[in-house]
C-alpha cells in the first residue's frame, strides 16, 4: 500500500476509503497492529457493520492486533453505539469497521480508547497513522481472538435512559436503510409498549433501497410517505452504522438535528439538574436558548465527536448534541447514540397530548439555509476574502469562520475529506436567509 494512499484514508475523526483500492486488507492489518501498539492494551473489542467487505477487513484488522500480542474480543455485527458501549462496559479500547453513511464501495474504521474515549486526529489518530505506515514489523504473536455478545445488555442500557412505564403506545415507523439499525433497534424496542414498524430492516451493505444518509432530504421520502399513509406519530431515520438518527413528524416533515438536540437537552436537564450542556457551533441559536431556559449552561464546541467527547469529559456535561444528528450522553461513557436520543424523544412525546410538530413548535424559531457545499481551489484564500467582506461584524475562528450579524449568523467550514467549504446560515425568516446567502455566494467563486 503506497504511503500517500494509506495516509489519505486517515481523516479527522476516523479512517475511511474505497475498499479494497484504498482501504485494503493489508492496510487494515497494519492499522490493527499500529492501534494495538499505540493503545498498550491487553485486549481490544471489535465490531463491524453489514458491508460485505467488513468480513475480510475485520479478519485482517484482528490479525494485526493479534500479531502485536493483544487479544481481540469480537462482538461481530454491531452498530457503532453498540461498539462504544462495549468499549465502556468492558473498559477496553475498541474498533468499529464501518463507513457509516458512505456508499457501498467504502469502508472504514472508527477507533476509541477504553471506556469509549475519543481517538481523533488530535487524540491519537495521527500517531496511529504514522505507526501504520512503517511497513512490516516482526510479529510478537500470542494474541487470541474470542467472541462476545452484548446486544441484550446494550438494549437494556439504552432503555435505562427513559421511564419505560411512561411510554405511550405511539405508532412509530423506523427506516434503518438496510443498515445496522435493523439489528439493534428490534432488541431495544421489542419489550416496549410501542406500535412500531421497521422499514428496510434487512442487513444489506449494498443499500438497495436508498443511501443510508438521513441528513439528505431525498433519503427521507420513503419514511415520510409511510408515516403519512399509516397515520404514525413519528418516523425515525438511522444512518448505516445507526449512531445517528433524524426524526420525521406526523405531517411527514423532517425534524432538524438542532430541534432534537434542544428537545433532548431540556429532557436531560430535567433528569440531571442544572449544569453544562454542549452544542456544536452549527446548531441553531434555538439550542442554547432552550438550554438556558431549562436552567442549563450552553457551551459551544467545534464540530466532531472527538472534540465533543473531550469537552464532555472536561466540563462534566450531561449531554451534547450536533446538528448532524449525533447525540452524546455522559451516562453512555460520553459516547453518542441515536437510539438513546430517539427513546428520549418518544418519552417526551408520550407525556404530552399534542403531536410532535406541536411539541417542537416552541423550539422552531429561525430559518436556516441547510448545509451549502461549494468546491473551492484555495480554501484559505476564500475564507480570508469572506472574513474581510464582513470585517465590521463579530467573528471567531473556533471551527472555520463564524460571523455574527446580530439577528443572523453563518459558519463557513472546510470539509475534512474534500476541497469544499460548507456554509450554514441562520436568520429570522426564509427571505432573510435567501438575501444573506445571495450576498455570500459570489464571495465563494
Helical (H) or strand (E) element with 265: helix 257-272
Helical (H) or strand (E) element with 276: strand 276-280
Q: Are strands 401-404 and 43-48 parallel, antiparallel or unpaired?
A: unpaired
Question: Is 273 in a helix, a strand, or coil?
Answer: coil
Work out the number of other CB atoms within 10 angstroms of the CB of residue 55: 14
Question: Is 219 in a helix, a strand, or coil?
Answer: helix
Among 340, 318, 343, smallest CA distance to 268 is for 318
Work out the number of other CB atoms within 10 angstroms of the CB of residue 152: 10
Contact 264, 346 (CB under 8 A): no
Question: Is 53 in a helix, a strand, or coil?
Answer: helix
**Cis peptide upstream of residue 374 (ω within 30 degrees of 0):** no
The 10 Å CB-count burial string (b at 16+, else e) for 208-224 is eebbbbbbeeebbebbb
Q: Are strands 195-199 and 171-175 parallel, antiparallel or unpaired?
A: parallel
Q: Annotated active-site positions, please?
A: 100
Question: Is 248 in a helix, a strand, or coil?
Answer: strand
DSSP 407: S
Among 269, 299, 302, 266, smallest CA distance to 411 is for 302
Residue with cell 476564500: 382
Which cell numbers hold the place of 17?
476509503
CA distance 77 to 83: 9
Work out the number of other CB atoms within 10 angstroms of the CB of residue 369: 17
CA distance 440 to 436: 6
Helical (H) or strand (E) element with 372: strand 372-375
The 10 Å CB-count burial string (b at 16+, else e) for 91-122 is ebbbbbbbbbbbebebbbbbbbbbbbbbbbbe
Alpha helix segments (H runs only) across 9-100:
25-39, 53-67, 80-90
Amino acid at each position: 500500500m503506497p504511503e500517500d494512499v494509506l495516509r489519505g484514508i486517515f481523516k479527522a475523526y476516523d479512517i475511511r476509503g474505497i475498499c479494497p483500492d484504498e482501504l485494503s486488507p493489508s492496510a487494515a492489518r497494519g492499522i490493527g497492529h499500529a492501534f494495538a501498539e499505540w493503545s498498550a492494551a491487553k485486549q481490544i473489542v471489535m465490531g463491524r457493520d453489514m458491508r460485505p467487505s467488513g468480513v475480510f477487513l475485520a479478519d485482517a484488522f484482528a490479525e494485526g492486533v493479534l500479531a502485536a500480542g493483544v487479544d481481540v474480543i469480537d462482538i461481530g455485527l454491531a452498530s457503532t453505539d453498540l461498539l462504544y458501549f462495549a468499549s465502556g462496559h468492558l473498559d477496553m479500547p475498541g474498533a468499529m469497521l464501518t463507513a457509516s453513511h458512505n456508499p457501498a464501495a467504502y469502508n472504514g474504521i472508527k477507533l476509541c480508547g477504553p471506556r469509549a474515549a475519543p481517538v481523533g486526529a488530535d487524540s491519537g489518530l495521527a500517531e496511529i497513522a504514522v505507526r501504520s505506515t512503517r511497513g512490516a514489523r516482526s510479529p510478537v504473536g500470542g494474541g487470541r481472538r474470542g467472541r462476545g455478545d452484548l446486544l441484550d445488555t446494550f438494549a437494556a442500557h439504552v432503555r435505562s435512559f427513559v421511564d419505560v412505564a411512561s411510554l405511550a403506545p405511539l405508532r412509530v415507523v423506523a427506516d434503518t436503510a438496510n443498515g445496522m439499525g435493523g439489528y439493534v433497534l428490534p432488541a431495544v424496542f421489542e419489550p416496549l409498549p410501542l406500535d412500531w414498524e421497521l422499514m428496510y430492516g434487512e442487513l444489506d451493505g449494498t443499500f438497495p433501497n436508498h443511501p443510508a444518509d438521513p441528513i439528505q432530504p431525498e433519503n427521507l421520502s420513503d419514511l415520510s410517505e409511510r408515516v403519512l399513509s399509516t397515520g404514525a406519530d413519528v418516523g425515525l431515520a438511522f444512518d448505516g452504522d445507526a449512531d445517528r438518527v433524524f426524526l420525521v413528524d406526523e405531517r411527514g416533515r423532517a425534524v432538524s438535528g438542532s430541534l432534537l438536540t434542544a428537545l433532548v437537552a431540556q429532557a436531560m436537564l430535567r433528569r440531571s439538574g442544572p449544569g453544562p450542556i454542549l452544542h456544536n457551533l452549527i446548531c441553531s441559536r434555538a439550542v442554547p436558548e432552550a438550554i438556558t431556559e431549562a436552567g442549563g449552561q450552553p457551551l459551544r464546541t467545534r464540530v466532531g465527536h472527538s472534540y465533543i467527547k473531550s469537552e464532555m469529559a472536561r466540563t462534566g456535561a450531561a449531554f451534547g448534541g450536533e446538528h448532524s444528528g449525533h447525540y452524546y450522553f455522559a451516562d453512555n461513557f460520553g459516547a453518542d447514540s441515536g437510539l438513546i436520543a430517539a427513546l428520549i424523544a418518544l418519552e417526551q412525546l408520550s407525556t404530552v397530548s399534542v403531536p410532535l410538530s406541536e411539541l417542537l413548535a416552541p423550539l422552531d424559531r429561525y430559518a436556516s439555509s441547510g448545509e451549502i457545499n461549494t468546491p473551492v481551489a484555495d480554501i484559505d484564500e476564500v475564507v480570508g476574502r469572506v472574513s474581510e467582506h464582513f470585517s465590521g461584524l463579530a467573528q471567531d475562528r473556533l471551527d472555520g469562520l463564524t460571523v455574527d450579524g446580530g439577528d443572523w449568523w453563518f459558519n463557513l467550514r472546510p470539509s475534512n475529506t474534500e476541497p469544499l467549504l460548507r456554509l450554514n446560515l441562520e436568520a429570522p425568516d426564509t427571505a432573510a436567509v435567501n438575501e444573506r446567502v445571495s450576498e455570500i455566494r459570489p464571495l465563494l467563486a
